[in-house]
Amino acid sequence: MWSNHAIAWLNDYTRRRGVKSSNQYYYLVGLERAALASGIRTFGGGDWYALGSERIYQAERGRGRVGSELSDTAFALLFLSHGGVPVWANKLQLYGR
């Protein structure tokens, strides 16, 4: 079971910083993994997948890549490919609601 402290930290961090960090695409993959493992659909008051995919869309803007490194694009694609929550997770907890 996920620790309430870990969930609270992710909520607080995401609320304060959003998905913007120096390694934002790596962070997105970690957030996606934590969300899918815990069954939580929202972090920091927003839908984590919507926030992350919007950030990736804004960064890509028709260039075919995100960030300055190939690894940025790889992490962004990993987030997008695994981030869609399957049907079973839609029935799980919305943290804080």
Sheet strands (E) in 1-97: 42-43, 46-47
Average predicted confidence (pLDDT) for the chain: 76
pTM over 0.85: no
Interacting residues of 83 by C-beta distance below 8 A, sequence separation 6+:
28, 32, 49, 52, 53
92 touches 40 (CB < 8 A): yes
Counting every residue written for the chain, the total comes to 97
Query: What band does 85 get if pLDDT is binned at 50, 70 and 90?
Result: low
Q: Quote the pLDDT of residue 93.
A: 53
The pLDDT score that the predictor gives to residue 92 is 52
List residues bridging with 42 in a β-sheet. 47
Do residues 94 and 48 make contact, with C-beta atoms less than 8 angstroms apart? no
- Measured CA to CA, the distance from residue 69 to residue 89 in angstroms comes to 32
pLDDT in tens, 34-73: 888 777 778 777 788 888 888 889 888 888 888 888 888 9
